Structure 1
Amino acid sequence: MTSSSDRPSPRAAGSYARFIPREELEGFSAWKPGSFGDDPSLKPQAAPPVPDAESLRRQAEALALAQARRAEEARQRAEAARLQALQEAREGGYHDGYRDGLEALENFKRSFATQTSAQVGALLQQFQQQLEGVEQDLARRVTGIVLEVARQVLRSELQLRPESVLAVTQEALGSLLTSARHVVLRVHPDDHALIADGCAELLAARGARLQRDAQVERGGCLVESDIATVDARVGTRWHRAMVAMGQSGGAAEWDGPVAASPAPASQSQHRDPAAPAQETQA
């Protein structure tokens, strides 16, 4: 029978329920108590030395220099960033301005080309109109000169060849109908004798009376009858020729305004009394 002192205590059995074998206790060493005076961690450490004023000044200066350096670096970085942003803004503005300038230039070129084309077209049209006006004026002047020369040549021809009135007279009498009665042939007084000799037979055949009329230009004649009038005066023939050529005004006149064609024999009372006709029986 065992005694109660040999039994394990219930508390001890509850706290140390398992024994750990030696094989499982790796990395452990037995602890041996030593001297507490040999532990350096337990020795009192010496107090740090108190810095003097010079050291504090140098430290403050070093700290201030470091802060100044950092501030300068920060300022330089900020300045560099500002310059970079400014450069980028300048480049962007340059490119934008260059693009806008090119666009504005193209718009100006198109507008200028359109405006210039319109102005040139207007100038060309105006020049063409002026040129046409000059050409027309020149043509009128040349035509006037030619007609004046022709008028002078014809007058000279009538003076140099007065016998040409015979052909005019024969043509005028021949164009009158044979049924015409009361035929009167009016000629210039200077052509009277020439026509009386050269057209005597024709005048007798038509029963026409030959009369002197100062209103009839030399080289022409005027034939009146009861049914028609043949105006073969030089001025009238000249006027008809000029009208047929499209001329008017002074160029179409032989010598001043062309008088109206005389009335037929039945209306001879309307003739100018200042120039009485002299009748001669052919």
Structure 2
Amino acid sequence: MSNVVKLSLKTKKIKAFVPDKDEIKTFSDDNSRVKEVKEDLHKKELESEYLKGYENGRIETTKLLEEKHSEEILTKTKEFYSILSSFENQFKIFENRYHKIVIEVAKKISEKIIVRELNEETSIEKILEQNLKKIIGANDITIKLNPKDLAVIENDNQNIIKSAGFTKVRFEQSDNIEIGGCLIESEIGTIDARIKSQINEIVKALENNLIENEIE
């Protein structure tokens, strides 16, 4: 027996695929593609950062403008109220001056009117008669007059006392009493009919009227 082993092999056809030249990708091409991707990503990152920075800048700028605008409004408001306050203070000063002028004018007018009436119409006798009626019922009466008025009624003072219904009346002269005025003292009260007192009453009434008008 022979020691030789015979192998029966069938031949098979082997096909090899060879790509075209354009389809062959080299290592250099892959590097270029990676580079392009990186550049594209970097570009997108830059654009994102730019947009983010732009938006942050816009928000910050808007905030600063709003704060500045608010500060300007606050400043203008303070200036406006300061001007109003100044006008109000000036108005009060003018108003006070106006009141003083009105009162002084009224006082002068009252003085002239009272003096004119005394010179033209009213006598000291009539003044005494009008004011003695205010203390009817008094027993102890002292009438103070200007020396000139006292001289006028010196001869007729008893008739004045009787006509008023009093029995005990004393007359005294006083340089502090203006002509046409009198001061009547009694145990039930005092009648101040001095010219100065009458004018003060008129001025006081005018002041009260001005105050009431301010409140309204």
Task: Report the TM-score, using the length of structure 2 for normalisation.
Answer: 0.61
Q: Return the alpha-carbon distance in structure 2 between the equivalents of residues 142 and 223 of structure 1.
A: 31
Residue in 2 that maps onto 1:202: 160
Aligned residue among 190, 195, 200 for 2:148: 190
Residue in 2 that maps onto 1:45: none
Residue in 1 that maps onto 2:34: none
Asked whether the equivalents of residues 196 and 210 of structure 1 are also in contact (C-alpha less than 8 Å), the reply is no
Asked whether the equivalents of residues 170 and 199 of structure 1 are also in contact (C-alpha less than 8 Å), the reply is no
Residue in 1 that maps onto 2:22: none
Asked whether the equivalents of residues 107 and 199 of structure 2 are also in contact (C-alpha less than 8 Å), the reply is no
Aligned residue among 129, 132, 146 for 1:170: 129
Q: Which amino acid in 2 is paired with 1:219? A: G
Q: Report Cα offsets for 1:124-172 as digits up to 9, x if no partner.
A: 2332233223222222222222222222332233233342x33321122
Residue in 1 that maps onto 2:184: 223
Q: Secondary structure at the match of 1:11?
A: coil
Q: Return the alpha-carbon distance in structure 2 between the equivalents of residues 158 and 117 of structure 1.
A: 61
Residue in 2 that maps onto 1:34: none
Unaligned runs of 5+ in 1: 1-8, 28-80, 248-282
Aligned CA distance change for structure 1 residues 112 and 169 (closer, same or farther; 3 Å):
same
Residue in 2 that maps onto 1:120: 80
Find out whether 1:15 has 2:6 as its counterpart.
yes
Q: Which amino acid in 1 is paired with 2:177? A: V
Aligned CA distance change for structure 1 residues 90 and 152 (closer, same or farther; 3 Å):
farther
Residue in 1 that maps onto 2:195: 234
Q: Secondary structure at the match of 2:99?
A: helix
Asked whether the equivalents of residues 162 and 191 of structure 1 are also in contact (C-alpha less than 8 Å), the reply is no
- Number of equivalenced pairs: 177
Find out whether 1:151 has 2:143 as its counterpart.
no
Aligned CA distance change for structure 1 residues 25 and 191 (closer, same or farther; 3 Å):
closer
More RCO (CA 8 Å, sep 6+): 2
Find out whether 1:137 has 2:84 as its counterpart.
no
Asked whether the equivalents of residues 145 and 182 of structure 2 are also in contact (C-alpha less than 8 Å), the reply is yes
Q: Which amino acid in 1 is paired with 2:128? A: T
Q: Return the alpha-carbon distance in structure 2 between the equivalents of residues 237 and 210 of structure 1.
A: 21
Asked whether the equivalents of residues 203 and 209 of structure 1 are also in contact (C-alpha less than 8 Å), the reply is no
The alpha carbon displacement at 1:106 in A equals 0.9
Q: Which moved more, 1:94-103 or 1:147-156?
A: 94-103
Q: Report Cα offsets for 1:37-66 as digits up to 9, x if no partner.
A: xxxxxxxxxxxxxxxxxxxxxxxxxxxxxx
Q: Which moved more, 1:216-225 or 1:113-122?
A: 113-122
Q: Return the alpha-carbon distance in structure 2 between the equivalents of residues 26 and 188 of structure 1.
A: 166
Unaligned runs of 5+ in 2: 14-39, 209-216
Q: Return the alpha-carbon distance in structure 2 between the equivalents of residues 161 and 121 of structure 1.
A: 58
Q: Answer with 1 or 2: which has the greater Rg.
A: 1
